[in-house]
Amino acid sequence: MSKTRETTHDLRPHAVLWDVDGTLIDSSEYHWLSWRGALDAENFPVTHEQFAATFGQRNDEILRAYFPSYSAEDIARVGDAKEELYRELIRARGIELLPGVRRWLDKLRRDGWLQAVASSAPRANLDAIISALSLETYFAAIASAEDVTAGKPDPQVFLAAAAKLGVPPALCVVVEDAPAGTEAARRAGMRSVGVLSSHAELKADVVVPSLEELPDNVFDELLAGR
């Protein structure tokens, strides 16, 4: 245990909240293939440029832009079809953790940190990913699309994860790869680690190219205000 941990937050629960895509895993190719499949069924030939420009947005926001005349039921139907295709790809092809993730999951658990997934993805997607990677024992809570009414940079998903863990926001550190995510962490009153897996730059308390390059004591020092 690091010397930094011998502080007042030692005696209180403290947590790391993990974003998923671009942080734990990179499944952007699966998202592209599933969007293409779902939209092909609607006779909408989506381009990769359109996909890239909307990646990370909520499905309903994306689909309303593509199909302004669709009813709410049709928007939900197409969104559900896309997510089912995504889960099928996860189950059929598998997925791998990004570099450094497994080491940090293990280290944080050994050091007494609570951990949660905090993602705007549907809960069924998160369950499929966690099952494919056998991560069930690492996470004490999962906050998903079903727990929020607005996506990042709204802080709802991080606040929901913290509430499920019973940890005050000030004692949470978020791991994110997207500007909207690090801004959501800031709005939630949480410290953040930014990983440059999908963006050239991020505004976070600590920014690294990969979790492999994250200093061993960084989470303790963030809560200590260093």
- SS3 per-residue string spanning 156-188: HHHHHHHHHHCCCHHHEEEEECCHHHHHHHHHC
Q: How confident is the model at residue 128 (pLDDT cuts 50, 70, 90)?
A: very high
Integer Cα distance of 32 and 81 in angstroms: 13
Q: 151 is in which domain, residue-wise?
A: 3-26+97-223
pLDDT score for 209: 95
User: What is the reported pLDDT for 226?
Assistant: 64
Q: Give the mean model confidence (pLDDT) for residues 173-199.
A: 94
List beta partners, residue 191: 173
Tell me, yes or no, whether 128 and 157 share the same domain: yes
Would you say residue 56 has pLDDT above 80? no
Radius of gyration (C-alpha) of the chain in whole angstroms: 18
| Residue 161 reports pLDDT greater than 50 | yes
**Does residue 70 share a domain with residue 147?**
no
- The answer on 132 and 22 residing in a single domain is yes
Give per-residue pLDDT as tens, 2-18.
444 444 446 679 999 99
